[in-house]
Structure formats: structure tokens, C-alpha cells
Amino acid sequence: MTAKRLIQLAALGSALLLGGAFVFQALGYPPCKLCLWQRWPHAAAILLGLVGTFVPARWVAGLGGLAAATTSLFGVYHTGVERGWWEGPTSCTGDGGGLSGMSGADLLSTEGASGVIMCDEVAWAFAGLSMASWNAILSALLVMVWVLALRRASR
């Protein structure tokens, strides 16, 4: 397979993963902050794939691989937050420690609700792996496709 075709394949993989994220969102699984962080590198990989269709250069494949590696690492980080291996951003994780000073009326009120989606809660899982875990795994596979494209473009 040529470098150009590998670049297109890797970009298609990112497009499918990003599209899947939007489908889950449409089905009622809103993204948390870390989910959104995982989307941006896929968007970059898609754009690089479009550029690589016209210019299958080494730098396109290298940057595409970097984008896929970035989203994969974000997925690993998010998985660790979900499983309690390490702390996540304070803006979307927490144990409810701030609830102790609230009255019953305050707890039942929805006025001023922030709508924050918690990053440390798994909204959906398949085969024991969350969406973040699947993104980490599948994006790591895309890294391999980008690296193969890089090797082919270097010839």
C-alpha cells in the first residue's frame, strides 16, 4: 500500500472514531472535558489526511502519527481517571466533598445547575472498556498506520 493510501486510511480511522463520538453524543451520552480533549487530535488527523491526499509527504505522516498518539495518550489518561488510578481535572472530577455545607433545599434545587459531565464516571462500556479506553486502543492502532505511512513516504 502506498504512503498516500495509508495516510487516507489513518485519516478515515480518525473520522470513524470522531463520528462514533458524535453518534454517542446524539444518543444521549454527552462528552466530558476529557472526551472533548480526545476529539481535537482526531480532527487534526482528518485534516492532515486531506492534505496527505494531495501531498503524501513525510511531515504529513509524522504529524498525523503525532495527532493519533496524542489522542491515544489522552484516552489512557482519561481511562486512569475513570478507574481511579490518578486524579483528573478538578473541574470535572470530585467526590462531593463540597456538599457538606449545603441544606436539603440546596441539594434538591436545580437552579444554577452547571451541567458538568463528570470525567471520572464511565457513561458507557463494552467488554469492560470505556469509550476512553477504546479510543486509546484504536488510536494506538492508527499510530501504527501513520508510522507505516511515514516509512513508505521516506522511501
> In the 8-state DSSP scheme, what is residue 129?
E
Helix pair angle (33-54, 58-82), 10° resolution: 170
Which three-class secondary structure state does DSSP give residue 89?
coil
Task: Kindly list the domain boundaries of the chain, sorted by start residue.
Answer: 3-87+120-153
Torsion sign (Cα): 119, 68, 28, 30: positive
Q: What tens digit of pLDDT does each residue of 36-93 get?
A: 999 999 999 999 999 999 987 899 999 999 999 999 999 999 999 999 999 999 888 8
Q: What tens digit of pLDDT does each residue of 134-151 get?
A: 999 999 999 999 999 999
Q: pTM for the whole thing? A: 0.84
Distance CA 115, CA 117 (A): 6
